[in-house]
Amino acid sequence: MRKSAFAAVLHNRYSMRGQLLASFFCKYGIKNRSDPRNILQSIAYQISDHIPSIGRLILENVKRMKEEEKSRGGRPASLESLLIQLIIEPLQSYQLYKQDSSTSSTRMLIIIDALDEIGESNSKERIELLSLLARMIHRLPHWVKVLMTSRPELDIETSLNPFHPVRILHDDVNHVNDLRIFIRSQLHNRLIDNDNNDNMESAVELLLKSGGRFIYIAMLCENNFIGDKKWSYDELKNDLPSGLDEVYLQYFHRIREKNVEDYDSKIRPLLSLLVTMQEPLSILDVSRILNMSMDEVELLQHQISNMFPLIEREYQDVSTIIKYFSVYHKTVTDWLTDEMKSQGYVKKPMTLMIGT
């Protein structure tokens, strides 16, 4: 099961029981879903909404912190102050109340999904948050449990090793069984001879090609490698890419082959810009940065839409819609910025600063 799907299942299960205290699903490339300050503030808000008596204390702390911010000339509170004053201290105070009353101490869960999608590996904001969580989580009351999920990235593993994390490896029996079920559901009605033997053989073949990664199967089905076409077992075995690296290599190779004249002058600069995104860039932003018309940018986006889809947001009023570039999955930008893997499909990423 993919890490976010696993987190979503627990989210729904604990929410139905009334035991979900707060949750945050990080998303790479979207600032308000990957900024550590937003994560802590969102969790604090959800806690106050779930337990109103804590909410009153959190609100008092927010007012005090705003006054302190004014006295510092507008410099915001540190992440540590946010965690302590908006989450830890209010929960500790509630813990004392629970001990002095007949209130039951039902276990409550906080979920933070996809830590790896907070900035880049070893980025300042990610290191600061990881260090803070590693030092402070033990101060939460015993009835508050925290679930964090992540891909296995070194800085995250190093910071959270003291908590003895559970590692779901690609060859884990339960993980492989989940993946096999997922593959068979995706193969339904996609095979030329869809009997049990072909389905089983094809599932095994895709399991081997996937390297144990759900994202591989999802991406193949969503990005027209399989599509609506009926496939034979031999075609699945011989024609489909092996592993995510080969998926991306084939995808960007097809784009370059279809756009030989424009690739170096237009598509490669666009990709070089998009891999720098810390938050979604609008079509207008991109057109200004690359000195292109908005219509031209939209035509180029159509060429790479599987990996960099557009999202729409309402702006100021419901009659104005702004289109923004997003990233299908963080592994896309990881692959493009790895010079050995991407083989020149993108230039060295440009340094980009955009005022807000």
CATH number 3.10.129.10 is the correct assignment for the domain at 258-342: no
Which pair of structure tokens corresponds to residue 185? 């559901």
Per-residue pLDDT averaged across 171-182, rounded? 78
| 253 CA to centre of own chain | 26
Instruction: Report which of 153, 154, 100, 162 is spatially closest to residue 133, judged by C-alpha positions.
Output: 162
How confident is residue 188, by pLDDT bands cut at 50, 70 and 90? Answer: low
Which pair of structure tokens corresponds to residue 286? 């991109």
Any idea how long the chain is? 356
Q: What is the dihedral of CA 110, 115, 118, 123, to 10 degrees?
A: 120
Using CA atoms, how far apart are residues 133 and 26, in angstroms rounded to an integer?
A: 15
CB-CB contact of 347 with 337 (8 Å): no
- The CATH-assigned architecture of domain 3-163 is 3-Layer(aba) Sandwich (3.40)
Q: What is the dihedral of CA 188, 175, 131, 353, to 10 degrees?
A: -20
Please report the pLDDT score of residue 352 as a whole number.
46
Which pair of structure tokens corresponds to residue 285? 């932003």
| pTM over cut 0.75 | no
Which pair of structure tokens corresponds to residue 272? 């070089």
Per-residue pLDDT averaged across 207-227, rounded? 75
Q: Where are the domains of the chain?
A: 3-163, 173-240, 258-342
319-349 CB burial, b ≥16 within 10 A, e <16? eeeebbbbbbbbbbbbbbbeeeebeebbeee
Please report the pLDDT score of residue 93 as a whole number.
86
CB-CB contact of 116 with 131 (8 Å): no
- Which of 65-74, 177-186, 288-297 shows the lowest mean pLDDT across its residues? 177-186
